[in-house]
Structure 1
Amino acid sequence: MPIRTMRASGTPRTTGSPGAPDSAPGGTGTTAKARPQRAGLRGEGTWGWLFVSPMVLVLGLFMVLPILMALWVSLLHWDGQSNPFSGQADFVGLDNYRTLLTQDGLDRTLFATSLRNNAYYVLLTVPLQTVLALALALIVNQKMLRGRGALRTTFFFPSVTSSIAVSTVFLFLFQGSGAVNSMLSWIGLKGPNWFADPRGVLSLILSGLGIVDPERPAGVLADHSLMGLSWFEWLAGPSVAMCTIILLAVWTTSGSFMLIFLAALQNIPRELEESAAIEGVNRRQMLRYVTLPALRPVLFLVLTLGLISTWQVFDQVYVMGQGAPGNTTLTPAFLSYSAGFDNADFGQGSAIAFILLALILILTAFQRWALRERGVHTGRNR
């Protein structure tokens, strides 16, 4: 005899009636319906892996496999003339890494010099290009601005131009008798020979103030060293030649990041800005308390892309000096290339590349921690 239940309206209902739940094995209730759904999800997962398998194979063949091969080469003394997997190359273990990081010598000095140069390049390029890109995005996002499309195209154009072509143009502009020095002469200034000046900018400023003598530094700056370079060499700042490359990088990359910021600005809900306007906030407060918090994820993306690209700078250095003058434009990426293809020491070149990879990963993780969301934690009320 079926068990009688009561509906909300008071009419009886049995377990065998339509709409009644049935949890018995083999029934037609929720348990039985969940089984084909799980089977469908498993089928979709199989088809998904099937469709992405060509790209997975391509990435594994042309990205993961070369990385593993380069990691093996970094443990060898290999000149590139034999098969590194046949046993003909000398296995040296971590000697390539020790030579670059701990052993006194020319290799460590050059590597430390490249790290110093690239560090100044990153510290100046990333903030400048980010601030400039955000400012340009705020400008071209104004609805009352005429010719917004033309301005966006103009600002973005340097980003799509070949970096080799732009670097060649900058070589002509910043020559000793180039257009830049000619314009400086109009206001009574004598410009330097930009790409032949190895002096550090900070050392020039301190020398002008009479604080430090760049020719004969004394005291702690000269008595202590790190990785073969004195503290004065670490703190001398980027050279005049490196500052030119920094200007080039900021000019060519700010347009791309401007488009990223522009897309994010157009995605901010209008209700937020309207509510803030009703509260009577000014433009500076709007930027600080409404716009920038809404742009936090995009800001992290732009800073991360800028950090990675600036630590991997190569083509501008290759065209505009190859480390000259006096190794003040030398970078780890170019040093890795030079070690392998100029000195036939592919083991050391691979070791430099992996040290650079580890440095980028550490700095990216730190940047993610620094830009994380910081919520307000309140204790329980007692």
Structure 2
Amino acid sequence: MRSDTGARLGRRLREGAWGWLFTGPMVLVLGLFMVLPIAMALWVSLLHWDGQSNPFGGDADFVGLDNYRRLFADDGLDRTLFATSLRNTLYYVLLTVPLQTLLALFLAIALNQRMLRGRGTLRTVFFFPSVTSSIAVSTVFLFLFQGSGAVNRMLGWIGVKGPNWFADPRGLVWLVLGRFGVDQPAPAAGGPLGLSWSEWFAGPSVAMCTLILMAVWTTSGTFMLIFLAALQDVPRELEEAAALDGADRRQLLRHVTLPALRPVLFLVLTLGLISTWQVFDQVYVMGKGAPGNTTLTPAYLSYSSGFDNADYGQGAAIAFVLLGLVLLFTAVQRWALRERDGRARRGPKGARRAPR
């Protein structure tokens, strides 16, 4: 009995040693290039550092949580800019993630039809914007939507005067209400993080809507392929059985296809959530926060605090706040899309069904 226990223990130790032998190099690489830089950045977020001295040699001033307090508690420009960037990104996330997910799912379902011809060509066409450089796409959109760009010229052909896309700092809510003679009230205290309620509920600006349109166009192709791969794994027997039971296309989508796509839907939503909260390159190319900071995002504000204002401590603090927001929203999304096994096993009037 003891010999069998000793043999099993020795076998487990050998397996563990071989496992660490194979995974050790990757663990070392991740530690050097991910964990260690994160720890260093966390230390920098507690300093007042201009990027010129050694932050680990006592040359920088240790300020503790002062960088975080300036973002959340102290009245001033730092908190106003940070709150403005959060407001802009909230609208960006709330509009971009659902639109790109729905468009990707619609394209995947359409391309999954066996009777559709040219599916390979259509997949390439829809996926092509996703592999194009974001800097190049942003530059093209900047030329298309400027005051004298092609979009306004096309609108002029049908008698519609196009807006000055990157010059109007008003949100869509006040832009529409302004047509009826309702002007945005002057900023007043009382809103979260120093912004007035009228600023929080102003909606995205026209420039931010342009960024949203570009993001949906450039990311839907990638998510389309993910959905398409998942759709091809849905058993045909389930769809045929549902069709024999009289289910129409809408019921088939709701009760068969979407439940089978739940894990992939969580993946797509998580990837979209992370990428939208971290948007930077499009903002950098298409205005650097203009007009009126309506396209300012936390990622760009973190970059600007460090490289433009030489305040790397505050830039690192903004980055860690952004990390916390991404983790929080990902956890909420995971909770919302969790498998409800307890509810599924309940029969009529709350009675539990016996497991098969």
Superposition TM-score, scaled by structure 2 size: 0.94
Residue 40 of structure 1, CA deviation: 3.1
- Inter-partner Cα distance in structure 1 for 2:32 and 2:219: 30
Residue 164 of structure 1, CA deviation: 0.3
Check 1:38–1:267 CA distance in 2 against 1; reply closer, same or farther (3 A cut): farther
Alignment of 1:265 onto 2:231 = yes
Check 1:51–1:198 CA distance in 2 against 1; reply closer, same or farther (3 A cut): same
Which residue pairs with 1:311 in the alignment?
277
Which residue pairs with 1:341 in the alignment?
307
- Give the unaligned 5+ runs of structure 2: none
Residue 178 of structure 1, CA deviation: 1.2
1:273-295 CA-to-partner distances (Å, cap 9, x unmatched) read 01101111111111111101111
Question: What are the equivalent positions in structure 2 for 1:167-246 lying under 5 Å apart?
Answer: 167-210=138-181, 212-214=182-184, 216=185, 222=188, 224-246=190-212
Question: What are the equivalent positions in structure 2 for 1:138-153 lying under 5 Å apart?
Answer: 138-153=109-124
Q: Which amino acid aligns with 1:234?
A: W
1:229-273 CA-to-partner distances (Å, cap 9, x unmatched) read 110001000011111011110000000000110011011111110
Check 1:52–1:25 CA distance in 2 against 1; reply closer, same or farther (3 A cut): closer
- Inter-partner Cα distance in structure 2 for 1:35 and 1:190: 83
Q: Which amino acid aligns with 1:213?
A: D
If you compute each CA radius of gyration, which structure gives the higher value, 1 or 2? 1
- Give the unaligned 5+ runs of structure 1: 1-23, 27-31
Q: Is the 8 A contact 2:188 2:195 kept in 1?
A: no
1:3-44 CA-to-partner distances (Å, cap 9, x unmatched) read xxxxxxxxxxxxxxxxxxxxx776xxxxx4x76455334322
- Inter-partner Cα distance in structure 2 for 1:153 and 1:45: 45
Which residue pairs with 2:13 in the alignment?
42
1:89-132 CA-to-partner distances (Å, cap 9, x unmatched) read 10000000000000000000000000001110000000000000
Q: Which amino acid aligns with 2:136?
A: A
Which residue pairs with 2:47 in the alignment?
76
SS at match of 2:166: helix
Alignment of 1:322 onto 2:279 = no
1:326-380 CA-to-partner distances (Å, cap 9, x unmatched) read 1111000000000000000000000000111111111111111111122324446
Which residue pairs with 1:108 in the alignment?
79
Percent identical pairs in the alignment equals 76
SS at match of 2:159: coil
- Inter-partner Cα distance in structure 1 for 2:13 and 2:243: 50
Q: Which amino acid aligns with 2:307?
A: F
Alignment of 1:275 onto 2:241 = yes
Which residue pairs with 1:64 in the alignment?
35
Q: Is the 8 A contact 2:71 2:82 kept in 1?
A: yes
Matched residue count: 347
SS at match of 1:194: coil
Q: Tell me how large the CA RMSD over aligned residues is.
A: 1.7
SS at match of 1:281: coil
Alignment of 1:134 onto 2:105 = yes
Q: Which amino acid aligns with 1:329?
A: T
- Inter-partner Cα distance in structure 2 for 1:161 and 1:95: 41
1:131-154 CA-to-partner distances (Å, cap 9, x unmatched) read 000001011111110000000011
Check 1:297–1:380 CA distance in 2 against 1; reply closer, same or farther (3 A cut): closer
Which residue pairs with 1:331 in the alignment?
297
Residue 205 of structure 1, CA deviation: 2.0
- Inter-partner Cα distance in structure 1 for 2:172 and 2:218: 22
Residue 179 of structure 1, CA deviation: 1.3
More helix by share: 2
